[in-house]
Chains A and B, each alone.
Chain A
Amino acid sequence: MNSYRVSAPQFFSLLYLSALSGVFMYLSSPQVSIAKTQSLFRPIVFVIVALVSAVPVFCLNSQLKKRLGTENVAENKFFKVMAFVYACVYSFGIVRVCARFDLFASSELFPGTQMIVFIIALIIVCAVLSSLGLGALSRAGSIFAFVVVAATTFVMISLGDNVDLLNFTPLVFEESSVFLKDGLLFAFQSAEIGTLAVVLPQIEGKVLKNYIVWAVLSGVSFSAILFFVVGTLGGFADTQLFPTYTAVTLAQMGLLQRMDALESAIWILCVVEKLSFYFFVAVECFKVTFRKVHKRVICGVLAVAVCTVMLFVSGDSERFSFISYTPVMIAVYVIPVFVLPIAALVFLKITQHKKAVDYEKNGKCD
């Protein structure tokens, strides 16, 4: 078995879990109301944004294949800087996921408990898991995806009795700018799309087709989850910090009365997968910049750095607010998904143009 390259379906299972964790631990925001029927249609914006976002990343990948070998990428200064920025963005992504999980765990799983020791343990576990490689993470992702989908479907079915259609709001024409703004803010939560620029060379199979399936399936899953959240909670959803979790606490079937315990265990799987994947991406990118340093050293330093930041963030809601601040969230999405791939494409174009001019002037290529 080739441990370096991974099959596209397995990789997108991993990406699916990563995206789902964002909806499971959806954090209410004063800017966007979740308790509206319109929120069921926001995943459409997510699908469109995901498809549009793929264009620069896939273009960059095909250009790199054509013009530069992997070795050249590693040696090129521009790509070294680009890899460093990617690494920083996803290191920050790790902190964001950890901070949100910290808030979730200390609010819902173990209310009022200082969770920093648990979070540090989680960071260490994920750092170790990331060293197993993308193949191992993706294969685990494909198994976990089955477990997560089965458990979530079961919980949603048991929520069926609690759905009240009057909890939805009339589907009136919302101002298109408002719908677009809310939809974009929802879509920007899935920053994992940017990782494709880093991992695409390692994926084999019909990547584009699997990517489209991933985007559509994720959108449908988000809508289905939001249907149950809005249908069971109504306007109350906006008053709750983690509305998806609050909806799950209402689920019960026969003797099974605390399904939130089952579901939160399942959600931790998603968080572990997401964090391990982000660790993997960040380490891969740092490795491009610091070629002489061993991956394990980079991983260890990164884990220590994240733990240190978490010690600083955990227990202070103002610091947490900065991490989840909307412009920061947008930057974490836009930089790796649009800015960096487009900058790389422009760089390649300029390099190519320069080479052509040099060739015309000197009659030879450098």
Chain B
Amino acid sequence: MKKTGNAIKLLVLCVALPCLLCSCEKAGTELSDLMIIQGIGIDAVGGGYRVTVEILNNEQSGSPSGDSSSENKTKIYNAEGESVGGALMKLTTKSGNKPFYAHNRVIVLGEEAANRNLEDILDFFERNYDSRVSELVCVAKNDTAESVIRANLLNDTVKSKILEKMLEQSYKESLVPRMRIIDVINAAKDETSFVCIPAVTVHKNGDDENFVLDGCALFGRDKTFSMYLSSGDAEGLAFLDNNIKKGFISAELKNGNSATFIINKGKTRYEITDNDGRLHYKLKIYVSCDLEEVGGAEYFSTEEGFFEEIKAAAGETIAKKAENTFAVLQSEHGGDAVRFGKRLSFENYGLYTDLKDEWERVFSQCTASVEVNVTLRRIGEETFHSRK
């Protein structure tokens, strides 16, 4: 009798369990009824905004109202509104489905939109329940966000996924900072920092187009666009901001040949001194790398100090990159995009509180010296004694 009772209880439980299955986030909503957004482009139009979104083509067939420029996997829609949120809501009237932001990968800001207040533009994504704070943000350099989202890449691809991978990989290669919504807001909230967001352009290659990472866009303390850093200038950001992940360096050797190194890890240490109101940042950069390629290897086979020379060349290249970026940041439209002010607040809070209100002037006048300590972890499978 007891066994039968238990069996009935189990049966009731099994019948009840399917009621707890909740479909994809939105209870009772079919996948095909969701507008699963992959990328959002934001452009300023008049006093309002135009949003262009790339959405997954759930039904694998073009909707009459949809612009099926990417044919299969995704569709592109756009809408205008007085605010970013308002424009996004209007997308429903074009597609008939509800926007679903949880899978959004990237937010692209058009150049015009970048000239407006960053925090206002991103407020919708901070506040929206579906939206994830880890979405990446980038700027369409000298272009509109719409043209980036609509870029004519290879068919049957999710463009936003490519853009996301490109931004993630560039961060892992220490080429540009990773700017998620959370990072943008934190930098914008900081009392001394400039916001530095990766910039992207679309290059035409015949009929096809492809994304190119083209440095970074700097945003000033008023959270509006200030200037662009070129790709070369942006490469020093990771070393200045203690954000070294992986990456590579090509260094020129004394014999005129070049060597390529793969960075394994690195860190930057800071020493800040106050020379009568003028700050000096002494940076010690520690980098561990593997030798990937070296020209004129036979030259080293007879030299005693080949390790030292290779390491010195790598160190010099890194120091140059860091110094070059620092000089650009100190230029007229530049600013503290490497959180030097924040570092000062940890080291000398009293001095920081005295200087923070005029930090732009203080930063433009401060000096920096870079000392690089390179450790060569591996030299590859070829020894220096092998003759080419």
> Is A239 positioned at the interface, with any CB of B under 8 Å from its CB?
yes
In the assembled complex, the Cα of A110 lies from the Cα of B349 at a distance in Å of 43
Point out the residue from B25, B129, B186 that lies within 8 Å of A236, measured CB to CB.
B186
Chain B, range 114-161, C-beta contacts under 8 Å to A: 126, 129-130, 132-134
Given the contacts A166-B342, A166-B343, A167-B186, A111 and B129 also touching, CB distance less than 8 Å = yes
Please indicate the chain B residues that have their CB under 8 angstroms from the CB of A111 in the complex.
25, 129-130
Assembled-state Cα–Cα distance A98/B352 (Å) = 45
- Check: B379 CB closer than 8 A to any chain A CB: no
> Which residue of chain B is the closest to A169 with respect to CB atoms?
B345
Nearest-neighbor residue (CB-CB) of B344 within chain A: A170
Are A249's CB and B129's CB within 8 A?
no
Contacts of B186 in A (CB 8 A): 167, 233-236
- Most chain B beta carbons < 10 A, residue from A111, A233, A236, A249: A236
Contact of B346 among A113, A170, A235, A250 (CB under 8 A): A170
Q: Does B339 count as interface, using CB distance less than 8 angstroms?
A: yes
Contact of A170 among B134, B189, B339, B345 (CB under 8 A): B345
Question: Is B126 a contact partner of A108 (Cβ separation < 8 A)?
Answer: no
Query: Are A110's CB and B133's CB within 8 A?
Result: no
- For the complex formed, measure the closest distance between the CB of B85 and the CB atoms of chain A, giving whole angstroms: 14
Residues from chain B with a CB closer than 8 A to the CB of A240 are 126, 133
What's the A-B contact tally at a CB cutoff of 8 Å? 47
Residues of B with C-beta under 8 A to A112: 129
Nearest CB of A to B317, in Å? 26
Whether A172 pairs with B349 at a CB distance below 8 angstroms is yes
Provide the residues of chain B in CB contact with A239, threshold 8 Å: 126, 185
Given known contacts A235-B190, A239-B185, A246-B133, A170 and B22 CB-to-CB distance under 8 angstroms: no
- Is A107 among interface residues, defined by CB-CB distance under 8 A? yes
Task: Return the CB mask of B314-326 against A: 1 if under 8 Å, else 0.
Answer: 0000000000000
Closest Cβ neighbor of A246 among chain B residues: B133
Interface string of A286-310 (1 = CB under 8 A from B): 0000000000000000000000000
Q: Smallest CB–CB gap between A9 and chain B, Å?
A: 31
Task: Name the CB-closest residue of B to A113.
Answer: B27
Q: Mark A98-117, 1 if CB is under 8 A from B, else 0.
A: 00000000011011110000
Contact A166 B182 (CB under 8 A): no
**Once the chains bind, are A108 and B129 in contact (CB under 8 Å)?**
yes
B171 to chain A, nearest CB (A): 12
Q: How far is the CA of A46 from the CA of B185 in the complex (A)?
A: 31
| Contact present for A236 and B185 (CB under 8 Å) | yes
Q: CA–CA, A210 to B182, complex, Å?
A: 40
Contact with B along A234-257 (1 / 0, CB 8 A): 111001100000100110000000
Closest to B128 in A: A111
Residues of B within 8 Å of A110, CB to CB, are 22, 25-27
Query: Which A residues lie within 8 Å of B26 (CB)?
Result: 110, 113
Whole-angstrom CA separation of A150 from B229 in the bound complex: 45
Q: Which residues of B are found within 8 Å of A172, using beta-carbon distances?
A: 349
Residue of A113, A169, A233 near B182 (CB, 8 A) is: A233
The reply to whether B133 and A249 contact each other, CB–CB distance below 8 Å, is yes
The smallest C-beta distance from A174 to any residue of chain B, in angstroms, reads 12
Q: Given B27, B132, B346, which contacts A249 in the complex, CB threshold below 8 Å?
A: B132
Chain A window 17-55, contacts with chain B (Cβ cutoff 8 Å), 1 for yes, 0 for no: 000000000000000000000000000000000000000
**Interchain CA distance A107-B128 in the complex, whole Å:** 9
Q: A1 to B162: give the CA distance in the assembly, Å.
A: 62
The answer to whether B349 touches A235, judged by C-beta atoms less than 8 angstroms apart, is no
Q: Are A107 and B349 also in contact (CB < 8 A) when A166-B343, A167-B186 are? A: no
Return the chain A residue nearest B131 by Cβ.
A111
Partner of B133 from A108, A167, A235, A250 at Cβ < 8 Å: A250
Q: How far is the CA of A111 from the CA of B346 in the complex (A)?
A: 39
- Mask of A166-186 contacts with B, CB within 8 angstroms, 1/0: 110110100000000000000
Q: Bits for B166-185, please: 1 = Cβ < 8 Å to A, else 0.
A: 00000000000000001001
Contacts of A233 in B (CB 8 A): 182, 186
**Residue on A with the closest CB to B180?**
A250
Could you say which residues of chain A place their CB within 8 Å of the CB of B133?
236, 240, 246, 249-250
CA distance A108 to B129 in the complex (A): 6
Instruction: Evaluate contact between B129 and A166: CB separation under 8 angstroms.
Output: no
Residues from chain B with Cβ under 8 Å of A108 in the complex = 129
Q: Contacts A108-B129, A113-B27 hold; do A249 and B134 have CB atoms under 8 A apart?
A: yes
Task: Establish whether residues B343 and A236, one from each chain, have CB atoms under 8 Å apart when the complex forms.
Answer: no
A35 to B: closest C-beta gap in Å: 9
Contacts of B134 in A (CB 8 A): 249-250
Residues of A within 8 A of B132 (CB): 249
Residues 171 to 218 of chain B near chain A (Cβ within 8 Å): 182, 185-186, 189-190
Residues of A within 8 A of B22 (CB): 110
Which residues from A are CB-within-8-Å of B349? Answer: 170, 172
Report the bound CA distance from A240 to B342 in whole Å.
22
* 0 or 1 for each of A121-144: is its CB under 8 Å from B? (1 = yes): 000000000000000000000000
A170 to B356, CA, bound (A): 14
A249 to B25 Cα, complex, angstroms: 15
Shortest CB distance B210–A (Å): 27
Q: Which of B346-366 contact A (CB under 8 A)?
A: 346, 349, 352
The reply to whether A107 and B129 form a contact with Cβ atoms under 8 Å apart is yes
Question: B182 to A236, Cβ gap below 8 A?
Answer: yes
Q: Lowest 3 CB-CB distances: which A-B pairs, in order?
A: A111-B129, A235-B189, A234-B186
Since A111-B25, A113-B26, A233-B186 are in contact, a sample of 14 more A-B pairs with Cβ atoms closer than 8 Å, ordered by chain A residue number, is A110-B26, A110-B27, A113-B27, A166-B339, A166-B342, A169-B345, A170-B346, A170-B349, A170-B352, A235-B186, A236-B182, A236-B185, A249-B133, A250-B182
Q: Give 15 A-B contacts (CB < 8 Å), ordered by A residue.
A: A108-B129, A111-B25, A111-B129, A112-B129, A113-B27, A166-B339, A166-B342, A166-B346, A169-B345, A170-B345, A233-B186, A235-B186, A235-B190, A249-B132, A250-B134
Question: Which A residues fall within an 8 A CB radius of B?
Answer: 107-108, 110-113, 166-167, 169-170, 172, 233-236, 239-240, 246, 249-250
